[in-house]
Structure 1
């Protein structure tokens, strides 16, 4: 009689648990826009959610500690003239968030640590370059102020937010709508999926497709792909329609030039061939038949991928290893209500004292519910094996260094003593003056006054800009004064009543 060997893994018993009622965020009008983004972004300080708003697009930003019922007049971040489609927190500044909209623009916002009195309407910078709606945002993992955006114009633009300049524009890579974009760990490569059902690996600085794979999933629904810690690719999609059934799929592929040579594994997870062939997955997992797009969230520290289907009520998670069958199913967290979107907390925002290895923020129709993933441990000591050093808030490169060809892995920090978010850091934008770039001289100067004209014009422009800035600051100060007086008046009226 043979005995079944149980695979040893410290994550085999990871379990999920929904937060108690007093730890949720209630009365939030989550956006009803039909777009396949997560609608939610979270960091160790704030929770941001795309919401319904009249007269344009908006999202709400709440301090993590502000749980409970959210006042209907709570200030929003407004400024877009059409619905907001995606938001993403800067990994190197917890007070900076970017938003993408149907109005073709990308805006970068500075969020104060205090609760503002009125809506935040002035972005730090507006990035204009797309000709159609912008639905994907992703900050560079290691370079300061480098932001990627992708739009309905099939173009990927990489920006230097610190200057407002376009660093790169990849406009001939995709023949159709881009569904997802993901950086690798050091930001040297991109993985993209497209409506043409092709998975591409792109070197953005060379504007070159390094590798591509046609139809990694046969179904017509959108694909998603993320890099693993060792450079492989996890993709999610749907199988071909068979007997009116279409299954969700998770595939692991090994790109050309990968350090390891892995065996190709079929659906029943048995090796069938040896080699490093990007055209064949090294592992393929099939799941249920629901229609919601799978949002993959990958944790490089634990090598666990969490799959959250929009419209589903479950989170499935798998451990990725170097031994066959490479993708190991761990468990499924299920709840009664389907999710409209999902936020994923960075590792530095978790509670290490409770052996918390992941935390999700599940969007319902009118609320947001934290879901905690925990490894059961009895000891109160810091668990070194669960918490290796993880990427911190300090960038490893400047934008100019990255565009010049340098690469660097993330700057790691230890979570042994917990993580304390740094104080408010202001994003400084220094736009280059277009008048500084002068055309070459085409002949002798006619007169001294003609040569002085550009300098005089530049001086006048700078003077006007300074005056505009001073007036804007004065108006803002007066608005704050008016608000304070209105509050005092309300208090006096209530007192007389």
Structure 2
């Protein structure tokens, strides 16, 4: 048959951008302003790795969660990295680091679990590629050489000098040669095995000058080991593609001009289907090409993304949804607002039948299996790379891949070469763990490991990182794919990672703002970062104002509209303000803490009797109802217990005398008991924040030196302690931190800064402080303050000077479970004005009839806004009990009653049902379904299709025979005479 009639199976592949709920937030990688594109890689577990050019390590997202782990153990800024199997190899500065990447990990667990290669004589590395098709060989491009390293023995194999800086590297599909593009616009082909056996010159095949532009070029391999594809700029600044044949490397076998744009081309080649997705940095257009060994053909349609693309990569073929006919998935890094995010774009082929696996669309693909050792590869043993079937029902033979590295870091031994590498660590291999099948969980039975391989594997896991010889594998790579009946040995189930998007009732939460009162004319004074800038309860709003004596203005919510032009009333403690707090139990009680260490209690007028009418002002309050000396020196923040009347925890603001003190201030100044110091706990540095537990018996604190401590509230003894992320806040600038307990759970979270001003939220399990989850948001100088919902796992992150509020849904596992904590980013609330401070009200003030799950007040430069966070629902006449669970409220007790109770007894609580009496829960409403019964008479008179046709034909026959004359209707009309036609 003529080749022009041989159509490709993928010619009609269509691209579709995933919904925003499935986007993966990355934070800030500082790649938008870089001349080069960021390095991105994926693995078979569905994780995406993104390099941060600002020294922030490698961001790891995906694998069924929106959590953003950052690998900061590279030792400086990351120039380039590559991921193959469970190994990540990265270069940064003069160091090459190889890190084990298990299927589930946290950034802290792998900080020291690495094998480091490097010495003082190692020049700045630019690119690195890990050979995964055949042997554990890493190719590193330096300023003056291309160095090949045996990752198994951590020894240098050969170093090939080159006259120009290499810009990109690509191993051939068989892993025998390495192609590279350089700054001198020459494409080179390296054969390191020839250089080892003969000479360096014999290992380099030089092409003619191509891609003569001044901007960098890239090269990628095809499935055929003899061909490569490169992208770059011509001398006339046109973007172009080129095909290279290693058997004729003097010039490209095919060249194609793309366009005249200026953005760097990002080639994304799927070697199984031959589809090339071509994106440009800073552009929104993705072109699709079909690549063969002789031609490059562009498809008819281009895809337009909703956001400009900074960088992109293809998802690992073992992680795509094959049952949805997804032949490829593009993971595009883009800027969304103030941070960066990964946008998944699926390439699918339309098929009517999606129940069965489409064998023609998904041939066996390359796996991440090491098939021979590095020494065998050096001895010119050419073994085809192993392949694996994408069929979820396929059974695979137990194979081997690089396993998790030991936690013992190797020693660095400098030698006088480009890379100084000596190590006695053996090379460990284990069973490969490819992820097969669609994105939905699919159980796949796998054969049990053989008895001969199991002891070797189990013993190797207890050894140090690498061993010189891998385990044996099937002699024929074709035998790695088996389609056999159910095996007789035991099997285990395997499932693919779930999709990132989680169907939640709060996915479309929205904030509705209303002006509460405006005409504010004063700016807040300069206060410490630990001090509140705004607070509110169900009756009053309060905020500090400039002036002597630490003034705090208060105004009732009942007086909405414009604030009066005359002076608004204030409380004046007569000393500079350190912190203040509006009581949630009493509508008119205000606490102030001054820098003289005195805690004062103020009683405000009842809102209904607020004496501010007819434009007449109210006198300032200067005399508190109670005053207690709680600190000998300068005070920091205070925390008033929500359920123990009169219990206040105060922090000192002096670094030399940093301490946390627990006071009984006498039931809020009502004279029921005398003020007394219950306990005092010394700290090595300033205390940034604290939060009470849900049971009321513990308090968690964060310190400037990085200590996170849980303190028993009765005794003042530290019951649990950990370091924040392995390092302290002081090590990264000491800009502050916040902590908050997550509702009625055993989890709490901290908010602070990471490296390069990266704002981070870390979630802890109080029963196991080593079980943490790190979530990075974006780069900003403003410290975020968390506000946690009382009954829902929702947290609101607020930053001073910002016009938006970030909302996260936290999916918490059981306390004693080893499951990871999942944090899902919801829609942001965005306002037109920047906020100075924010205060959230208790849950019982929310309007459940309007499905209002939270209510807060925002202080801006000129007004105070009320924001209602609502969930859209259609049946508002019913009580939405799925998002309004019963509210657990503590019963207020005195300090004396609390101290007389047993030590491990929790505070008593009561359950409050938020459902109004006149409403009915939506879960108890039965949907009325009307079922129409067919009568026997109707069934009897129904005709079959053949009978209907017979009746229709009989009717047409009667109509045709109705007029026996055979005339038509027009014959019955009388026309004009024939002689009239002559006129």
User: Residue 297 of structure 2: which of 325, 328, 337 is its match?
Assistant: 328
Q: Deviations over 1:238-297 (max 9, x none)?
A: 1222xxxx22101123333xxxxxxxxxxxxxxxxxxxx544433221122222222223
2:404 is the counterpart of 1:426: yes
* Aligned CA distance change for structure 1 residues 35 and 408 (closer, same or farther; 3 Å): farther
2:269 is the counterpart of 1:281: no
Deviates more, 1:189-198 or 1:106-115: 106-115
8 Å Cα contact 1:85/1:100 also seen in 2: yes
8 Å Cα contact 1:142/1:397 also seen in 2: no
8 Å Cα contact 1:164/1:429 also seen in 2: no
How far residue 6 of structure 1 moved from its aligned partner, in angstroms, is 7.5
Cα separation, 1, equivalents of 2:214 and 2:412: 46
Matched residue, 1:449 = none
8 Å Cα contact 1:350/1:359 also seen in 2: yes
Cα separation, 1, equivalents of 2:378 and 2:269: 26
Matched residue, 1:229 = 223
Cα separation, 2, equivalents of 1:354 and 1:420: 21
Q: Deviations over 1:180-237 (max 9, x none)?
A: 1111111111111111110111111112345322222222211222232231231211
Matched residue, 2:324 = 354
How far residue 120 of structure 1 moved from its aligned partner, in angstroms, is 4.1
Cα separation, 2, equivalents of 1:369 and 1:419: 31
User: Residue 111 of structure 2: which of 118, 121, 129 is its match?
Assistant: 121
Gaps of 5+ in 2: 196-201, 414-423, 425-463, 465-708, 710-719, 724-745, 747-763, 770-814, 816-902, 910-983
Deviates more, 1:134-143 or 1:352-361: 134-143
8 Å Cα contact 2:309/2:332 also seen in 1: yes
Deviates more, 1:416-425 or 1:106-115: 416-425
8 Å Cα contact 2:22/2:344 also seen in 1: yes
Cα separation, 1, equivalents of 2:38 and 2:383: 28
* Aligned CA distance change for structure 1 residues 303 and 114 (closer, same or farther; 3 Å): closer
How far residue 119 of structure 1 moved from its aligned partner, in angstroms, is 7.1
2:313 is the counterpart of 1:343: yes
- Report how many residues are paired: 410
2:371 is the counterpart of 1:396: yes
Cα separation, 2, equivalents of 1:431 and 1:114: 21
After superposition, the CA RMSD in angstroms is 3.5
2:9 is the counterpart of 1:14: no
Query: SS where residue 62 of structure 1 aligns?
Result: strand
Higher RCO (CA < 8 A, seq sep 6+) = 1
Cα separation, 2, equivalents of 1:84 and 1:161: 19
Cα separation, 1, equivalents of 2:106 and 2:394: 25
Cα separation, 1, equivalents of 2:285 and 2:364: 29
* Aligned CA distance change for structure 1 residues 252 and 78 (closer, same or farther; 3 Å): same
8 Å Cα contact 2:116/2:409 also seen in 1: no
Cα separation, 1, equivalents of 2:173 and 2:106: 35
How far residue 310 of structure 1 moved from its aligned partner, in angstroms, is 2.2
How far residue 146 of structure 1 moved from its aligned partner, in angstroms, is 1.8
How far residue 339 of structure 1 moved from its aligned partner, in angstroms, is 1.5
Cα separation, 2, equivalents of 1:51 and 1:293: 18
User: Residue 98 of structure 1: which of 86, 89, 92 is its match?
Assistant: 89
8 Å Cα contact 1:60/1:75 also seen in 2: yes
| TM-score w.r.t. length of structure 2 | 0.39
Cα separation, 1, equivalents of 2:217 and 2:186: 9
8 Å Cα contact 2:220/2:228 also seen in 1: yes
8 Å Cα contact 2:136/2:370 also seen in 1: no
Cα separation, 2, equivalents of 1:140 and 1:404: 16
Cα separation, 1, equivalents of 2:107 and 2:366: 34
* Aligned CA distance change for structure 1 residues 392 and 189 (closer, same or farther; 3 Å): same
| TM-score w.r.t. length of structure 1 | 0.73
* Aligned CA distance change for structure 1 residues 203 and 135 (closer, same or farther; 3 Å): same
2:478 is the counterpart of 1:483: no
How far residue 400 of structure 1 moved from its aligned partner, in angstroms, is 1.6
* Aligned CA distance change for structure 1 residues 433 and 291 (closer, same or farther; 3 Å): closer
8 Å Cα contact 2:53/2:79 also seen in 1: no
8 Å Cα contact 1:319/1:327 also seen in 2: yes
Matched residue, 2:80 = 86
Matched residue, 1:179 = 167
Matched residue, 1:26 = 25
* Aligned CA distance change for structure 1 residues 9 and 290 (closer, same or farther; 3 Å): same
Matched residue, 1:303 = 274
8 Å Cα contact 2:24/2:61 also seen in 1: no
How far residue 169 of structure 1 moved from its aligned partner, in angstroms, is 1.7
8 Å Cα contact 1:28/1:368 also seen in 2: no
Please identify the structure whose Cα radius of gyration is greater.
2
8 Å Cα contact 2:164/2:184 also seen in 1: yes
Query: SS where residue 483 of structure 1 aligns?
Result: strand
* Aligned CA distance change for structure 1 residues 117 and 338 (closer, same or farther; 3 Å): closer
Cα separation, 2, equivalents of 1:58 and 1:10: 40
